[in-house]
Amino acid sequence: MPYRVTFVCTGNICRSPMAEWILRHHVAEAGLDVEVDSSGTDGWHVGDDADHRTVRTLTQGGYRSAHQARQFEAAWFDHYDLIIALDRGHLRELRAMAPDAAARDKIRLLREFDPDAGGELDVPDPYYGGRTDFEHVRELIEAAVPGLLDEVGNALKDRDGLKER
């Protein structure tokens, strides 16, 4: 069974689909058995494609993109091993939605995986900005990927170790 990761932002058209496709690229390169997707805390954009600026930023960074926005549902907590919020607001909303402590323990902030993040753990919303705002978001996501890959790789090793016992 693959390890399952989801990213969550507000509308699921900018930050979380960008993080989804960047991580998909890197787990494929690493040959890890990981499923990656994304969703939003709100339903404003359900069914919409990713913002065209997200798609452009991903393409310019060498990543693929195919996306249809959806809203995170509380019933999904059991489906995921790791639920990654893009900012503290999403973290609060997800924790409030979590049915129990085990579900809350699955929720992390993306920038927790970036050792250079310091105290600034939010990925800013680029929606009302321009090209440089979207590029900045991509850079923040890419900076967190090595730590995130380590976390996922260790979880897979732990899972595989348990299977061998």
Write b or e for each residue in 105-121: b if 16 or more Cβ atoms lie within 10 A of its Cβ, otherwise e: ebbbbbbbbbeebeeeb
Which of the following is catalytic: 14, 15, 87, 111? 15
The one-character DSSP state at 115 is T
Kindly name the residue from 48, 49, 81, 125 that is annotated as catalytic: 125
Q: What are phi and psi of 87, to 5 degrees?
A: -150, 175
User: Among residues 109, 118, 92, which one has the least CA distance to residue 151?
Assistant: 109
9 carries an active-site annotation:
yes
Active site residue 95: no
Could you confirm whether 15 is annotated as catalytic? yes
Using an 8 Å Cβ cutoff, are 98 and 80 in contact?
no
CB atoms < 10 A from the CB of 126, how many?
22
Within 10 angstroms of residue 85's Cβ, the number of other Cβ atoms is 28
Q: Just list the catalytic residues.
A: 9, 15, 125
